[in-house]
């Protein structure tokens, strides 16, 4: 089994290193790695954020473990050369259209959430975000209006087939969670009251629901969903939404459980091959200082074992070790503690 390791920029190499330590400790037969350059690190080395060599590694790999991209030194570059184009390019080239972002409150972190403990304790949800459509991939540009003003535009667009395939993933995710004690509920989040794109989204999700009579489907406007994530997050089981809304809501959910440094994610193709990454960014302000929380990346490695490599028992071991480390007081600065990146990795390894 080949794992493509793409550390990227900022704290990416530091958190990837800890995830690899945990994977190595499991001593999984046949697990090998190939490392590639992405993001600002790749641009500085070879002049492009997603070099052909890296894309080749990613295509050959059984799964990809990704760190983070983003480098202030590259902010003035043309958009197609900026570090963030690496992750967008990988999603597009590998058809990674389904993003799974779990948010679950570890009891040990109830005091780290800004929500009341009794509200935060109920959080156990999965956000299914469509990844290859919406304004991120629609036509975009800058132009001059008739009166000479600059105007920027980004087209929000979804085809029926794009909505239908992510809806199937979401319904199947709700079914799988129901088998493991979940609620068998799916909430589709849109803005159908003002956007034609969202009206199509809602119509297609309703049509797809006919194939999943065991899943309870509801709908919610995105502004209300943002409010409900704070007011009563325990009402949600699975949320399915578009690229833009999903990006925002999943980051919001991360703070509901205490820190953006705690949330893992999987980006999957139709065959289950995936790219796994923490949802946080490159955090250049703390890069190289041994301060980053590696738990989201370690939990992303667990998701990789479960969803792409069919090793659920090993994934369970990692997740249990993270919970045990947290129970033992493993906290970085983001969770009000003082442990370093390596020390948190040490705590997980000791628990493992």
Which fold, 99-268?
Answer: Isopropylmalate Dehydrogenase (3.40.718)
Separation in Å, CA 331 to CA 24, 121, 208, 337, 338: 23, 18, 43, 4, 6
Given 9, 43, 124, 191, the catalytic residue = 191
Query: Is residue 56 flagged as an active site residue?
Result: no
CB 322 within 8 A of CB 40: no
Q: What residues contact residue 336 under an 8 Å CB cut-off, 6+ apart?
A: 111, 112
Tell me the domain boundaries of the chain. 1-97+271-352, 99-268
Given 24, 73, 111, 223, the catalytic residue = 223
Query: Is residue 247 flagged as an active site residue?
Result: yes
Per-residue pLDDT of the chain (352 residues; tens, 9 = 90+): 999 999 999 999 999 999 999 999 999 999 999 999 999 999 999 999 999 999 999 999 999 999 999 999 998 889 889 999 999 899 889 999 999 999 888 877 777 778 888 888 889 999 999 998 999 888 999 999 999 999 999 999 999 999 999 999 999 999 989 887 778 999 999 999 999 999 999 999 999 999 999 999 999 999 999 999 999 999 999 999 999 999 999 888 877 877 677 889 999 998 889 999 998 889 999 999 999 999 999 999 999 999 899 999 999 999 999 999 999 999 988 888 899 999 999 999 999 9
Residue 97 burial class via C-beta count within 10 angstroms: exposed 0-12, middle 13-18, buried 19 and up = buried
Separation in Å, CA 253 to CA 234, 294, 349: 11, 18, 27
Given 9, 134, 136, 185, the catalytic residue = 136
The model carries a pTM of 0.84
Query: Is residue 140 flagged as an active site residue?
Result: no
Given 44, 62, 221, 251, the catalytic residue = 251
Query: Is residue 136 flagged as an active site residue?
Result: yes
Q: Do domains 1-97+271-352 and 99-268 have the same CATH topology?
A: yes
Given 124, 134, 190, 247, the catalytic residue = 247
Cα gap 63→58, rounded to integer Å:
8
Query: Is residue 212 flagged as an active site residue?
Result: no
Q: Closest Cα partner for 220 from 240, 190, 249, 197?
A: 190
Phi, psi (degrees; rounded to nearest 5) at 167: -65, -40
CB 115 within 8 A of CB 233: yes
Pick the CATH number of 1-97+271-352 from 3.40.50.970, 3.40.718.10, 3.40.50.10190, 1.10.3720.10: 3.40.718.10
Q: Which two tokens stand for residue 248?
A: 């925002």
């Amino acid at each position: 089994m080949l794992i493509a390791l793409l550390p990227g920029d900022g704290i990416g190499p530091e958190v990837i290193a800890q995830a690899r330590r945990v994977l190595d400790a499991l001593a999984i037969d046949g697990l090998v790695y190939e490392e590639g350059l992405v993001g600002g690190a790749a641009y500085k080395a070879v002049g492009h954020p997603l070099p052909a060599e890296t894309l080749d590694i990613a295509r050959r790999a059984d799964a990809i473990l990704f760190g983070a991209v983003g480098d202030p030194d590259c902010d003035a570059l043309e958009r197609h050369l900026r570090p963030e184009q690496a992750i967008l390019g990988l999603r597009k080239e590998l058809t990674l259209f389904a993003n799974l972002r779990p948010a679950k409150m570890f009891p040990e972190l109830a005091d780290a959430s800004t929500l009341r403990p009794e509200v935060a304790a109920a959080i156990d949800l999965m956000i299914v975000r469509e990844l290859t459509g919406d304004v991120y991939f629609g036509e975009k540009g800058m132009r001059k209006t008739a009166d000479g003003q600059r105007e920027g535009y980004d087209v929000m667009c979804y085809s029926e087939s794009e909505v239908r395939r992510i809806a199937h993933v979401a319904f199947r995710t709700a079914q799988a969670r129901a088998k493991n004690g979940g609620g068998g509920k799916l909430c589709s989040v849109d803005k159908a009251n003002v956007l034609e794109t969202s009206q199509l989204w809602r119509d297609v999700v309703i049509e797809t629901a006919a194939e999943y009579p065991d899943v309870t489907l509801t709908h919610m406007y995105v502004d209300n969903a943002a409010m409900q994530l704070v007011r009563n997050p325990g009402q949600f089981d699975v949320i399915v939404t578009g690229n833009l809304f999903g990006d925002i809501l999943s980051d919001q959910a991360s703070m509901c459980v205490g820190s953006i440094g705690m949330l893992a994610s999987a980006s999957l193709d139709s065959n289950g091959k995936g790219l796994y990454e923490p949802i946080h960014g490159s955090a250049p302000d703390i890069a190289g200082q041994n301060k980053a929380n590696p738990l989201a990346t370690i939990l992303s490695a667990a998701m990789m074992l479960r969803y792409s490599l069919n090793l659920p028992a090993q994934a369970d071991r990692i997740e249990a070790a993270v919970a045990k480390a947290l129970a033992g007081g493993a906290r970085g600065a983001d969770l009000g503690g003082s442990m370093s990146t390596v020390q948190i990795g040490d705590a997980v390894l000791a628990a493992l």
